[in-house]
Amino acid sequence: MRKPLLRILLAAVLLPLAGHAQQYPVKPVRIVVPTAPGGGTDVVGRVLAQKFTEALGQPFIIDNRGGAGTVLGSAVVAKAPADGYSLLLNHISLAFNATYYRKLPYDTLKDFTPITLVATQPFLLVVHPSLPVKSVRDLVALARKKPGQLAYASGGAGSGPHMSVELLKHAAGIDLLHVPYKGAGPAFIDLMAGQVQMMIATMSLASPHAKEGRVRPLAITSVRRHPAMDTLPTVAESGLPGYRFEVWYGLLAPSGTPAPIIQRLNVTAAKFLQSGEAREKLAGEGLETTPSSADEFAVHLKREVEVWSRVVKAIGQYAD
């Protein structure tokens, strides 16, 4: 007798959720991008928002909340109602911030429900054209002659551009001055203006300006050369073997968001990300689509938190 009763009770709980998911969304959905407009995260978020809008019949609106290396925007979503109407499009910073910040206004692994991985992207090491270097070796040699005098820009403390250069400093044994901004877009503007000398930035942000000569590319941070810039060496090829940095982008919701809503968003995203249209559109930004199940993204995020915990501790830098 207990099993039939249990089935009835379970159905009573799940049927309303299923109906809710079929109706979802019934109003505009906010996708928080925790960086300023113009960076790689913003590009990915806007492409995904457009496709969600087309597929699900409600506006998916980008809400840029830059600051504190994506912590401010991430906190907005962590504290939002778990109803599917506030989502987070974040990147690898979510993983290393878990250790880099001594105190966070959220728990990285408990306060978010992963929906799907979206894409991966290598970064470019670029310098202002006035800097007298044409390779990573030249840059390292100059930095050793002028310890602490070469300034590099980042999208904020704990951001990808910050941590990637800290890895470079650690690998090369050099000292560089960190100048954080509220997002990669503003940081890159100052790089082009010559206010800072170097930056490691996403391909989507750096590549167009490199082609126009506004910045000089020295190397790519991935383990292999990129087809779009196959003459550009990797950092590892340029005298720092073992160096590797690739950013991933993922979509998340507040913890407790109903599973049917997570599933609907996952299926909708996967359908787009597996299409030739998505691969072509994002490839133009230096991105490779990497759709996943929600569970796969959860495993990936946990593993990345563990990996970057070791890296941050080795570097020995933390933020309050």
- The DSSP line for 145-162 is HSTTTSEEEESSTTSHHH
Residue 19 domain-assigned? no
Do 126 and 228 lie in one domain? The reply is yes
Query: Which CATH number belongs to the domain containing residue 171 in this structure?
Result: 3.40.190.10
Do 138 and 274 lie in one domain? The reply is no
Contact residues for 10 (Cβ-Cβ < 8 A; gap 6+): none
Do 194 and 229 lie in one domain? The reply is yes
User: What CA–CA distance (Å, rounded) separates 298 from 305?
Assistant: 11
Region for 176 from its dihedrals, namely left if φ exceeds 0, alpha if ψ lies in -120 to 50, beta otherwise: beta
Side-chain-side CA neighbours of 290 within 13 Å: the count stands at 17
User: What CA–CA distance (Å, rounded) separates 180 from 209?
Assistant: 20
Of 204, 238, 272, the domain-final residue:
238
Angle formed by the axes of helices 259-273 and 276-283, nearest 10°: 70
Phi, psi for residue 22 in degrees, rounded to 5: -65, -35
The 10 Å CB-count burial string (b at 16+, else e) for 101-123 is: beebebebeebbbbbbbbbbbbb
Phi, psi for residue 112 in degrees, rounded to 5: -130, 150
pTM of the entire predicted model: 0.77
**Amino acid letter for position 12:** A
Do 170 and 311 lie in one domain? The reply is no
- Cβ atoms 91, 184 nearer than 8 A: no
In this structure, what token pair is assigned to residue 80? Answer: 């939002």
**Amino acid letter for position 117:** L
Instruction: Count CB atoms within 10 A of the CB of residue 319.
Output: 18
Ordered per-residue pLDDT tens for the chain, 320 residues: 455 555 555 555 554 555 555 689 999 999 999 988 877 789 899 999 999 999 999 999 999 998 887 899 999 999 999 999 999 999 999 998 999 998 999 999 999 999 999 999 889 999 999 999 999 999 999 999 999 999 999 988 777 888 899 989 989 999 999 999 988 889 999 999 999 999 999 888 898 999 999 999 999 999 889 888 889 999 999 999 989 898 899 999 999 999 999 999 999 999 999 998 888 888 877 788 999 999 999 999 999 999 889 888 887 878 77
Do 117 and 251 lie in one domain? The reply is yes
Angle formed by the axes of helices 93-100 and 71-78, nearest 10°: 100
- Picking from 154, 184, 183, 186, the residue whose alpha carbon sits closest to that of residue 167 is 154
Of 238, 264, 290, the domain-final residue:
238
Do 113 and 250 lie in one domain? The reply is yes
Residue 21 domain-assigned? no
Residue 11 domain-assigned? no
pLDDT of residue 7: 56
Q: Which domain holds residue 298?
A: 27-121+246-315
Do 307 and 164 lie in one domain? The reply is no
**Amino acid letter for position 165:** V
How many domains does the chain fold into?
2
